[in-house]
Amino acid sequence: MATRKTTFEVVKLDEIAPLLRDAEILGNSEESDRETAPARILSITYDRSLAATREMLFTSVGFQVYSASTIDQAIKLCADKKFELIVICHSMPTESRRSLIRELRRRCATPLLALQRPGETPVTGVDQVFDSTQSPVRLLAEVIGILRPESGTRVSNSDD
Which range, 11-20, 42-51, 81-90, is most confident? Answer: 81-90
What is the spatial distance between Cα 63 and Cα 139, in angstroms, rounded to a whole number?
Answer: 14
Q: In the predicted model, is pLDDT for residue 124 greater than 80?
A: yes
| More confident site: 33 or 129 | 129
DSSP-derived pairing of the beta strands 64-68 and 85-88: unpaired
* Segment holding 64, helix H or strand E: strand 64-68
CA atoms within 13 A on the CB side of 107: 18
The pLDDT of 50-59, averaged and rounded, is 88
* pTM attached to this predicted model: 0.74
Question: Which superfamily, per CATH, for 37-151?
Answer: Response regulator (3.40.50.2300)
Q: What is the pLDDT of residue 145?
A: 86
Asked whether 153 and 23 are in contact (CB, 8 A), the reply is: yes
Q: What is the pLDDT of residue 49?
A: 86
